Structure 1
């Protein structure tokens, strides 16, 4: 091999793979910013300075926080299992320093750092423990391709290895009942190798942060694999870095974790990526001057890349709405064709907002198209802004917005298609309700709580849904719940807790008294609605199915309260699930539902507390106070005369319904 060809290959290797020899840090621009020298910045610097020592002290994993209120900073640090303590400490310290110097004023950031990404450091303005974070993603890939004639055979081996790996990683939990950092440090880590013709070995390494659940770990890795297949399929190696997981595969031994693997001998027709050591051995005649020149060129390229990234980030904030909107926009003709010109045969439902149709895009993807009423008062700019907001909501218990179409008076929203219709379709039909056993209802309640918790606390925006009800909970093929219909949702500021409106929108029976009477809404409004749904799911009865009896206005909430006072809560349980459930567990859920519908918003628990109550049976539940809209004869209790006719109000404009469909005026918010 001549000197010229050796230098060319050396340049290729160093330039193509140069990103993986440096820290891959990501500053989350969308999460928010802080002011220089603010308490948040001081807390961030203080906490990051302690991560390295804490990770070493806690056997490779640490999760902690410092500060109070909006100035509180959370941090997480971890090293790969088996890392030497000193190497781990040095890697964490370098990673922490790089985050501070790169993320100058962003409230969230993460970095995988060190040789072969030995360690991870994250910080955030929100709690990190147990929260799955799929975004932002930082990908790298090998620039060389698998030969087309080998692709099918290669994919067969790769897919089998991938399935085996994800199963191993998501179940690799230590047999240790302790919840300390020590017991967490060895979870969710696996490596494997599979021989493949022509190319030798496929080497795969996967890892998740040890605080998330097994299912979330599996989801994170599967999402990374899908991302690889969509964008980089056919490449000879890829690295996917997310805040909650790490995934890498190569055709060469890229880590000490694979030292027991013997690299296959090079074949004359093998397209394997050359190894830097092999090149050095084959050609010792490359002059030091040439190598020095190559290093200078590489440094210049890396500097230019970082300057470009810096300039891009400055422009990104100004262009965010435009780019986000354009990236999910469909042509009206495309949606018209997908729905067979909005055929009646494809109609899934209708309401005050408009109509919903099933459609099939040209690539075979099934979608649900919401065609907003042409009389809606929402303008083009406000419509686009709403689309951008909803498009950023990514959670398995929220219906995913795929895109939109805007042409003249036509405003269309394109969602993922959810095959099993809505929860009310099953719950309030005697013949279909039998399909919902207690295990399924238990999972549905848990999934809805996770979705609301994401909206209130874990998403980039604090969102109040304002119209949570059984008909707005869709069920996927596996009967997992997905919250839908964000037409009435409001966005809150980070420190905002309550807001008022002169136009009440929603569905009677699910709206709390402070909202109906005073137009006041908050996260506790959604909590009230969730409590009503818990009682409906357990009883199989609509909140609105109770009518005036014995001169008293009755509903499901007041009925359950009387059962509580009479100590007969088991009477609420749907007879169809009594035989296959633990009565004490179901009664506990009824108790939680009553806590959610208490009259005073301050008495209702937050969604994070509710989620803990639902998942941890050892938590003692407080005694509930009487609910809102309890039409009893207690002195001082707020009462509404015989059902509350919205038309009697002179100070507010109501847009709501009593039973099924919500009539929504979509106005700029």
Structure 2
């Protein structure tokens, strides 16, 4: 029987910190089954818990993990002491006690975790060590000397908000230090922040298990920061404890030693001055204040002789800078993350004037196209390098979100089939993203164009298909974080000089946790015709949503036809999916092949690709293959060539006939649909684009 996972045990003894009550919390989990006292797992577990305390306490990182015994009786374990523990004996004693208590408290459960004041211990019959992104079980607790309490000023909401902001700043600095400071071998950081006498000094620490990479530690801590905002609004202290990373803050000095990170502190006068030193400190403060006052008086006198119009100009400039700071603070944090994570890559912060000059002041002659969040221009830098500049629409809140999202994601993604972001510009209301220039523009410039279509023979199209699949597979499985693109379409596939495909536009992408399979949103974003049915109607998205979009794109590449739009009817059907399904079911899939391919000897290979596409666009997400399956299908025999495939089920809206929808299509919006409440962010005007490429945002009724 499972013990409630977040049961709080208040202990009467203290550990290393006089005046602070020790505590412990534990979790017992029987979902992986139970074990018998005489079995192999019990024996392996005994060996594991006997070894880990000594191994951890003797390690410079105060950390140890191990797997003992052969499957299925393998026991996996982890032991970690807090980074400020200086005594190996205290570390060993804490861990030995934690494992001993777990054995008593959790009985025959195969998975158990113990959080003590100075250490964390876990064992399991499942290989949680192979899942570095899994921080469970996560507990939260408010704490001041071992007791639950309320916010330091519950009557003043403004102060609560300010205090939360201070904690956020403290957390950010600690997380940066623990994750990326090479001297922080224990991946531990302690900090103190002093703001003013009206607010308490805030102390805190963060810690990751040292087996995590720097990037994994950062990602884990960002998850804790989100939980902190949700749980501890205005509280003076709290802790969030997980197996892989932890966070704690208080309004008192609760850790050993001096803080490694100090924010706004002048020595320790604010928090640790002794009574005997306060008089001397007071005299120093008075002297400094006198000097500062004299200097300020001289400065004010100097300012008074400056001409009035100069004063007004400076004031306007100051207000502009303040507005810029407010609008781009999150962006600056993202750029800081880029510089730390990707210091080996070329990433440039451009001046607006530099990009304006490169694009001939954003001339229409250099316009490459118009996307949902602003136009894209070709540019040329003084050194001759060609670039593509996306100028996000001013005063666009959605554009700002896209900007921040793309900056934050691109720092984590490096793949030959993903477009490379080379820099950006943030200046007052202007926000610009700078990409590598793709001389062949986007895929839709070829497959939907009478002149461009014949330039892509089947071999070129096959390589483009496989490249897109490899890029998606990287996003879903092999990148540092799992990414759902959510807006895969022909106009977001760029082609380099050799016609190699590059997936672009990550403004709508979402990061998934390692254990997350699907998510739900009340705001649907994407492009009509490429959206999976469960996403368009219910806001449910997953890797299978991207698989659906890939299937639509694959049919378009094979046929040279757009999936949908009120100008495009295919026989009795309003979309390409229904038409392709009917042809395949009737044994006439070869009729779907783009006439621009001419006499092609690869018809069997192309027809097989049609079947792969139909597998991707099945109505049920569970029936669709993963991108790993898709790449295997495409690679089998050299690209859609051989090997048996399962039969697909019919795609969604198969029964929607052109005759029944003609009236609706004729009176509908230019985007060809989008559903009730849909609104377009913007279309495209270049000849390479069509109304089918409109990016939409639609509200889903909550609770649906």
Query: Normalising by the residue count of structure 2, what TM-score does the alignment of the two structures yield?
Result: 0.48
- State the distance in 1 between where 2:605 and 2:554 align: 13
**Equivalent residue, structure 2, for 1:625:** 649
**Equivalent residue, structure 2, for 1:534:** 554
Secondary structure of 1:544's match?
A: coil
Contact residue 655 and residue 663 of structure 1 kept, 8 A? yes
- State the distance in 1 between where 2:525 and 2:399 align: 19
Change (3 A) 1:593 1:400: same
Contact residue 677 and residue 698 of structure 2 kept, 8 A? no
Change (3 A) 1:592 1:606: same
Q: Deviation digits for residues 198-219 of structure 1, max 9, x if unmatched?
A: xxxxxxxxxxxxxxxxxxxxxx
- State the distance in 1 between where 2:525 and 2:570 align: 31
Q: Deviation digits for residues 610-664 of structure 1, max 9, x if unmatched?
A: 000100135421110010221259xxxxx99956979896677776878344346
Q: Deviation digits for residues 45-92 of structure 1, max 9, x if unmatched?
A: 9xxxxxxxxxxxxxxxxxxxxx97865479xxxxxxxxxxxxxxxxxx
- State the distance in 2 between where 1:336 and 1:319 align: 25
- State the distance in 1 between where 2:488 and 2:649 align: 22
Asked if residue 478 in structure 1 is aligned to residue 490 in structure 2, the reply is no
C-alpha displacement of 1:385: 5.5
**Equivalent residue, structure 2, for 1:324:** 338
Asked if residue 518 in structure 1 is aligned to residue 623 in structure 2, the reply is no
Contact residue 448 and residue 483 of structure 1 kept, 8 A? yes
C-alpha displacement of 1:579: 2.6
CA RMSD for the aligned pairs? 4.2
- Decide which of 559, 574, 589 is 1:554's aligned counterpart: 574
Change (3 A) 1:648 1:417: closer
- Decide which of 200, 210, 229 is 1:105's aligned counterpart: 210
**Equivalent residue, structure 1, for 2:98:** none
Contact residue 552 and residue 631 of structure 1 kept, 8 A? no
Change (3 A) 1:648 1:615: closer
C-alpha displacement of 1:104: 5.8
Where do 1:172-321 residues align within 5 Å? none
- State the distance in 1 between where 2:333 and 2:77 align: 28
**Equivalent residue, structure 1, for 2:407:** 387
Change (3 A) 1:653 1:37: farther
- State the distance in 1 between where 2:392 and 2:651 align: 36
Contact residue 349 and residue 357 of structure 1 kept, 8 A? yes
Change (3 A) 1:68 1:561: farther
Change (3 A) 1:389 1:622: same
Secondary structure of 1:431's match?
A: coil
Secondary structure of 1:368's match?
A: strand
- State the distance in 2 between where 1:456 and 1:424 align: 24
Q: Deviation digits for residues 296-322 of structure 1, max 9, x if unmatched?
A: xxxxxxxxxxxxxxx99xxxxx98851
Q: Deviation digits for residues 417-440 of structure 1, max 9, x if unmatched?
A: 000011111111112211111100
Contact residue 503 and residue 519 of structure 1 kept, 8 A? yes
Asked if residue 405 in structure 1 is aligned to residue 405 in structure 2, the reply is no
C-alpha displacement of 1:105: 3.2
C-alpha displacement of 1:501: 1.9
Change (3 A) 1:484 1:647: closer
Change (3 A) 1:351 1:619: same
C-alpha displacement of 1:487: 1.8
**Equivalent residue, structure 1, for 2:691:** 659
Contact residue 569 and residue 575 of structure 2 kept, 8 A? no
**Equivalent residue, structure 1, for 2:526:** 506
Secondary structure of 2:446's match?
A: helix
Asked if residue 450 in structure 1 is aligned to residue 464 in structure 2, the reply is no
Where do 1:142-181 residues align within 5 Å? none
Contact residue 590 and residue 603 of structure 2 kept, 8 A? yes
Change (3 A) 1:573 1:70: farther
Contact residue 556 and residue 562 of structure 2 kept, 8 A? yes
Equivalent residue pairs, number: 380
Contact residue 393 and residue 399 of structure 2 kept, 8 A? no
Contact residue 474 and residue 481 of structure 1 kept, 8 A? yes
**Equivalent residue, structure 2, for 1:429:** 449
Contact residue 527 and residue 696 of structure 2 kept, 8 A? no
**Equivalent residue, structure 2, for 1:32:** none
Secondary structure of 2:648's match?
A: coil
**Equivalent residue, structure 2, for 1:264:** none
C-alpha displacement of 1:383: 3.8
Q: Deviation digits for residues 473-494 of structure 1, max 9, x if unmatched?
A: 1111001111111121111112
Secondary structure of 2:502's match?
A: strand
Contact residue 494 and residue 503 of structure 2 kept, 8 A? yes
Change (3 A) 1:545 1:612: same
Change (3 A) 1:589 1:382: closer
Secondary structure of 1:510's match?
A: coil
C-alpha displacement of 1:392: 2.7
Contact residue 422 and residue 473 of structure 1 kept, 8 A? yes
Contact residue 596 and residue 604 of structure 1 kept, 8 A? yes
C-alpha displacement of 1:409: 0.9
Q: Deviation digits for residues 86-131 of structure 1, max 9, x if unmatched?
A: xxxxxxxxxxxxxx9999634469xxxxxxxxxxxxxxxxxxxxxx
Where do 1:304-383 residues align within 5 Å? 322-324=336-338, 328-378=348-398, 383=403
Contact residue 334 and residue 407 of structure 2 kept, 8 A? no
Contact residue 539 and residue 572 of structure 1 kept, 8 A? yes
